[in-house]
Amino acid sequence: MKEIQIYDTTLRDGAQAEGISFSVEDKLRIVQELDKLGIHYIEGGYAGANPKDEEFFKRVRELKLAKSKVTAFGSTRRAGKFASEDRNLHHLLSTEMDVITIVGKSWDLHVKDVLKVSKLENLKMIEDSIMFLVENGKEVIFDAEHFFDGYKSNPEYAIETLLSAINGGASYAVLCDTNGGTMPLETQEIIQAVIEKVKIPIGIHAHNDTGMAVANSIIAVQAGAIQVHGTFNGYGERCGNANLCTIIPNLKLKLGINCISDENLSKLTETSRLISELANLSHDESQPYVGRSAFAHKAGLHADAVQKNPVTYEHIKPELVGNERRILVSEQAGKSAILAKLLKDHPELKKESPELQLIAGLLKEAEREGYQYEGAEGSFELMVHRILGKHDRFFDLKGFTVLVDRSENHQMRSQATIKLMDTEGNLEYQASEGHGPVDALNKALMKALISLFPQLKSMRLTDFKVRVLDAKKGTAAKVRVLIESSDGEEYWGTVGVSEDIIEASWEALVDSIEYKLFKDKQNNNNKN
């Protein structure tokens, strides 16, 4: 089986995305996770650019990695300088990384308008910089910036930049679609032309400004490239980079091209979600392969068919990439879809079961009231178990008070006080402050329950959404609150609906905690 090298640039190119700022600890954690996944190269950051990356390169040297090589990224020497005198090149050496990625201009437009040097000087800058690093014992990957635009503008000169990199001793020439404007068939044609003239391994580094980054990466491999650059979840500047979460399974499962092991492929979804968490971004659930919606079935016809034969509506087995099939429940779902959703935990149910008729009826009524269970499977599961008499409450709310005030210095403060009773009849009072009333309620509730249920310490809210259901009613409109929670292993959603946003939020919060406690109890019973 042909093997392709995967080069991850989440920590450098991905971190240039709007809204992302990885800490040093985040970056080290991601390196360890990518190493476990079997990624060949991990680009750590721009050497000498900032104190954070300097600390990262010091600390990453202490990690014992099984597979991955961490690379430092930098640019060619400055014009008119000797490479040995260039401060940036010395920064690269100071990282003590065995592999260095050097970016150089391959588009004559940039040489003239950005570098403002002659085309010959640019070629010398590329060759001198790479030669200096190679002479200092480094493996060098040449990152040919704007290569595809450069080739379309002046193919001879674009090729010359690669030949200069070869003369300097580069191990790979990576062709970058930096502006993300190249179409797949153009990529194929240019890659094939380059391979005829350039006798070192070729890589592809695609950006996603036309939505073609994954397609360009795949067709580049089919045309002969052996190294693929990208980021997890497609993070990157502007519209992002080629998404490795899509590229890796496409290579392995669709083209039969090896890049990581089958065992590691099954960790892909988990790694994708972890990097979303460390980036402090909601996970894109519509991503191919690793999104929660990738194998989700809502229409009754689809849900029924996929239970009979998964191939009818699934192009791969979800487990291959560590994902799972989900049957969504909504007013569009027939009894077959609802039954398919329930059979795993309730094998005793049949299509003609009165309990199923009741669940279907209550589901449609609830959605008429504004509830939506597609993203709130935790609430749906609790509703089902209550109907089937299989769920006991873990606590009873006796009341809560929420106070919001604004101080003289215009700071908002929220305080919540709750009173609840445990299953043995003991009353518990707790109060807490928070960043807003919902946060205050959540903190007060956790204070009251953690002594009874220590496992709640691992739980946190990961997403909070509010939807106005009938905007014409203005401030009297119903709102739907969707909450996503996690305990570090599982994610689940819960929902609340009310004309009062606090009540709707409380309902979703309580369901979220009850679902966690219920699942833990269920898991313990299964072990016993």
Predicted confidence band of residue 355 (pLDDT cuts 50, 70, 90): confident
Q: Where are the domains of the chain?
A: 5-278, 296-366, 369-382+459-528, 395-452
On whether the CB atoms of residues 253 and 236 are closer than 8 A, the answer is no
CATH of domain 369-382+459-528: 3.30.160.340
Q: How many CB atoms lie within 10 A of CB 397?
A: 14
Compute the average pLDDT of residues 143-157.
Answer: 97
On whether the CB atoms of residues 400 and 419 are closer than 8 A, the answer is yes
Given a cut of 60, whether residue 332 has pLDDT beyond it is: no
Given a cut of 60, whether residue 165 has pLDDT beyond it is: yes
pTM for the model: 0.73
Mean residue pLDDT across the chain: 89
- pLDDT computed for residue 426 by the predictor: 82
Residues 6+ apart with CB under 8 A from 112: none
- pLDDT computed for residue 303 by the predictor: 64
- pLDDT computed for residue 49 by the predictor: 75
Instruction: Indicate the DSSP class of residue 114.
Output: I
On whether the CB atoms of residues 477 and 500 are closer than 8 A, the answer is no
Predicted confidence band of residue 330 (pLDDT cuts 50, 70, 90): low
- pLDDT computed for residue 256 by the predictor: 94
Amino acid at 507: E
Q: Which residue in this structure is represented by tokens 């569009």?
A: 332
On whether the CB atoms of residues 241 and 230 are closer than 8 A, the answer is yes
Domains 5-278 and 369-382+459-528 share a fold: no
Predicted confidence band of residue 145 (pLDDT cuts 50, 70, 90): very high
Three-state SS string across 290-343, please? CCCCCCEECCHHHHHHHHHCHHHCCCCCHHHHCCCCEECCCCCCCHHHHHHHHC
On whether the CB atoms of residues 107 and 149 are closer than 8 A, the answer is yes
Three-state DSSP at 126 gives helix
pLDDT, tens digit, 9 for 90 and up, residues 25-36: 999 999 999 999
Given a cut of 70, whether residue 329 has pLDDT beyond it is: no
Q: Does domain 5-278 have CATH number 3.40.50.300?
A: no
- CATH class for the domain made up of 395-452: alpha beta
pLDDT, tens digit, 9 for 90 and up, residues 4-63: 999 999 999 999 999 899 999 999 999 999 999 999 999 999 987 788 999 999 999 999
pLDDT, tens digit, 9 for 90 and up, residues 462-503: 888 888 887 666 666 788 898 988 888 888 889 999 988 899
Given a cut of 80, whether residue 302 has pLDDT beyond it is: no
Compute the average pLDDT of residues 444-467.
Answer: 87
